Amino acid sequence: MIATRLVARAALIVGSFLTTPTAQAQPPADFTRTDLQHHDLSAPRREAVQVRVDIAPGKAFGRHTHPGEEIIYVLAGTLEYDVDGRAPATLKAGDVLFIPAGTIHAAKNVGNVTASELATYIVEKDKPLLTLVK
């Protein structure tokens, strides 16, 4: 019985050493969106959507639009926003940005750590939240 327990423990220890390097070797995602909440509003055919967006250093999310307003709060890192009709804006943690409905814009992480933003959308229901633009 004791020998069986020792063999089982040894197998677990060896197994943990074999799986740990594999997990650490996988590169982080360049871009992730985490849905936080989604609610109907009292305004007809409108909804609020809130997501966390994480962008790896040097990576960008290309030009796109939304069927409503976007309100951005930068949580971490440094992001450069290119909003049509405006000069590029570089924002850091604690900064905010308002993007009017239908305005073409893009974001790029210009820092050396993963940048994160809290994006709140006030958008038309039953439309795609995001449309890519060439």
Write out the chain's pLDDT in tens, 134 residues: 554 443 344 443 434 333 334 333 344 568 899 999 999 999 999 999 999 999 999 999 999 999 999 999 999 999 999 999 999 999 999 999 999 999 999 999 999 999 999 999 999 999 999 999 98
What is the H or E stretch that residue 12 is in? helix 2-25
Provide the pLDDT for residue 1: 53
Spatial distance between the Cα atoms of 131 and 45, rounded to a whole number of angstroms: 19
Q: Which residues of 87-106 are buried (b: 16+ CB within 10 A; e: fewer)?
A: eeeebeeeeebebeeebebb
Q: What integer pLDDT is reported at residue 2 of this predicted model?
A: 53
Q: Which two tokens stand for residue 85?
A: 């009709």
